[in-house]
Amino acid sequence: MDLFANLAHGFGVAFSPINLLMCLIGALVGTLVGVLPGIGTIATVAMLLPITFGLPPVGALIMLAGIYYGAQYGGSTTSILVNIPGEATSVVTALDGHQMAKQGRAGPALAIAAIGSFFAGCVATVLIAVLGAPLTKLALAFGPAEYFSLMVLGLIFAVVLAKGSVLKAIAMIVLGLLLSMVGSDIETGASRMAFNIPELADGLGFATVAMGVFGFAEIIRNLDFGAEMNRNLVQQKITGLMPTRKDLIDSAPAIGRGTVLGSILGILPGGGAVIASFAAYTLEKKIAKNPSRFGRGAIEGVAAPESANNAAAQTSFIPLLTLGIPPNAVMALMVGAMTIHGIVPGPQVMQKQPDLVWGMIASMWIGNLMLIIINLPLVGIWVRLLRVPYRLMFPSIVIFCAIGIYSVNNAPVDVILAGVFGLVGYWLIKHDFEPAPLLLGMVLGPLMEENLRRALLISRGDWSVFVTRPLSAVLLAIAAGLLVLAVLPSLRAKRDEVFTESES
């Protein structure tokens, strides 16, 4: 079997001492930063991106993947203990998790979150391995027209599955596309919108914009809240980590349902982990015999969204590894990291660099195992970290980010640009624009332009190529259908209902 040979190869790579170490460090550092209240997954990955630049590509990506799910796990710890969800994916975990913590059951809540995440991680790892090869074959049949249509579909998915106004999300994507045009044109070499500034000739650095819009902007935004940040921390000592038998029996089916839902939603480009956790929570509440328990410390309300977001976080690697298209902002950052290491993501990566792909997939499983082993005993440390006041934390993060950005190119201008984008991000938040689609647009911009150009060149300028090639036509039709559905009042109400869960 190809599948087992591939996985075995992957485990061979991932079990090398150096890669195990990278995975461990990634998971630990990711959790460490992810635990800090007010810093989401995207911000964590963006901030820690520079520390992986000095490593060999395989190690760097394994570490980044570790940072990603570490951050996600750290985020749920924070939302259970402090009721400040560090990120959108753990908003719903905070609802019941924090109630459990208040009732003195923080230990079981954290344990169930870890166990659920681990189970979901195992399933998702197998799923990636199973779906990886066939999807890669499909991707090889794609021409430029299909690729362009697929990216349009991905962006539309991102809009439909995101929170808030559809129009605003599309505007953010287009702004991202526009920003990606700054710098030299790939084909003609002409300098575009660079105003003769030499540092802009290479284009806006991806890490720079991400760190500005997510890192600095979130810090500035959090400063608005001031002292309110630390109010809700559960004060009593956490005792009895192990869940009772009843907890396990109650949460087992919820974990299963969350995993299935998360795996499916994760593969879809766009929302991924965020929508998965919301949807899983809504589903549990709908099918529960006694829905009124939710919001008052129901363990299913922790188990389902946590498994769902972890499953989705992992399966969202599938479009990235097979098609080379990042389905969400974190994956967009992974593309940025790959490009810096000279790897062009896409179907050819799986064939040319099996070490990288399968090593990363295997390391995900190992990383999840590590998380469950390390984090439960370390909960005490994370709690102490939560007590660090924000007034000391935020200047530290500013300096850390500034050094990180400077170290990418040794360019002071990059630091200033990141600061500018920090203010831009602050403005965007104030006007209720989501910055995640912007990042996605920025990564997909050059790819979209290149494929659009090539498709039109091959068709000799005939735009109908996008609807006459069957695959491309199907993709575009789905995209158009989704967009229509998203603006239809009935579906829109449904979509809002899923997201309003957090406000009840």
Question: Which residues, including other chains, have CB under 8 Å from residue 412's CB and lie 6 or more apart?
Answer: 406
Residue 224 to residue 373: CA distance in whole angstroms = 37
Dihedral sign for Cα atoms in the order 207, 209, 212, 213: negative
**What 8-state DSSP symbol labels residue 503?**
G
Contacts of 26 (CB under 8 A, 6+ apart): 62, 63, 64, 65, 66, 67, 70, 367
Taking CB under 8 A as the binding criterion, the range among 15-23, 105-113, 343-351, 383-391 that sits at the site for other proteins is: 383-391
**Toward other proteins, which CB reaches closer, 200 or 298?**
200
| Options 77-85, 124-132, 358-366, 416-424: segment touching other proteins (CB under 8 A) | 416-424
Minimum CB separation from other proteins for residue 294, in Å?
28
- Closest contact distance (angstroms) between CB of 185 and other proteins is 4
Supply φ then ψ for residue 367, to 5 degrees: -60, -40
* Closer to other proteins by Cβ: residue 248 or 456: 456
**Residue 497: CB partners within 8 Å, gap ≥ 6?**
282
Residue type, 197: I
385 interacts with other proteins by CB under 8 A: no
Residue type, 294: F
Confirm if 232 and 213 have CB atoms less than 8 A apart.
Answer: no
Minimum CB distance to other proteins smaller for 96 or for 414: 414
Of 49-57, 256-264, 337-345, 368-376, which segment contacts other proteins by CB under 8 A?
A: 49-57
Helix H or strand E segment including 183: strand 183-184
Let me know: does 161 contact 271? Beta carbons within 8 Å: yes
Among 20, 133, 178, 369, binds other proteins (CB under 8 A): 178
483 binds other proteins (CB under 8 A): no
Rounded least distance, CB 504 to other proteins, Å: 20
Name the minimum Å distance from CB 216 to other proteins: 7
Query: Do the beta carbons of residue 486 and residue 161 sit within 8 Å?
Result: no
Binding string, 430-469, against other proteins, x = CB under 8 A?
xxxx---------------x--xx--xx--xxx-------
DSSP category for residue 192: E
Q: How far is the CB of 109 from other proteins (least distance, A)?
A: 30
Q: Which of 106, 238, 402, 486 binds other proteins (CB under 8 A)?
A: 402
Which range binds other proteins by CB under 8 A, 151-159, 173-181, 248-256, 364-372? 173-181
**By CB under 8 A, residue 220 contacts other proteins:** yes
Does residue 484 interact with other proteins by CB under 8 A? no
Residue 489 lies near other proteins (rule: CB under 8 A): no
Can you spell out the DSSP letters for 396-451? HHHHHHHHHHHHHHT-HHHHHHHHHHHHHHHHHHHTT--HHHHHHHHHHHHHHHHH
Q: Does 122 bind other proteins (CB under 8 A)?
A: no
Q: Least separation, in Å, of the C-beta of 482 and other proteins? A: 17
**Contact stretch for other proteins (CB under 8 A) within 5-13, 313-321, 415-423, 478-486:** 415-423
Tracing tokens 């831009």 back to the chain, one arrives at 424
Query: In terms of CB distance, is 291 or 395 closer to other proteins?
Result: 395
Q: Which value, to the nearest 10 degrees, does the dihedral of the CA atoms of residues 48, 34, 161, 305 take?
A: 150
Q: If residue 116 lies in a helix (H) or strand (E), which one and from where to where?
A: helix 106-140
The runs of H, that is alpha helices, within 268-299 are: 273-287
- Beta bridge pairs of residue 192: 183
183 bridge partner residues: 192
Out of 69, 394, 466, 499, which residue is the one contacting other proteins (CB under 8 A)?
Answer: 394
Instruction: By CB under 8 A, tell whether 412 contacts other proteins.
Output: yes
Using CB under 8 A as the binding criterion, the count of chain residues that bind other proteins stands at: 65
Which of the stretches 71-79, 112-120, 233-241, 390-398 binds other proteins when contact is defined by CB under 8 A?
390-398
Residues engaged in binding other proteins (CB under 8 A): 50-51, 53-54, 165, 167-168, 170-171, 174-175, 177-178, 181, 185, 187-188, 190, 192-193, 195, 216, 219-220, 223-224, 226-227, 389-392, 394-396, 398-400, 402-403, 406-407, 410, 412-413, 415-416, 418-419, 422-423, 426-427, 430-433, 449, 452-453, 456-457, 460-462
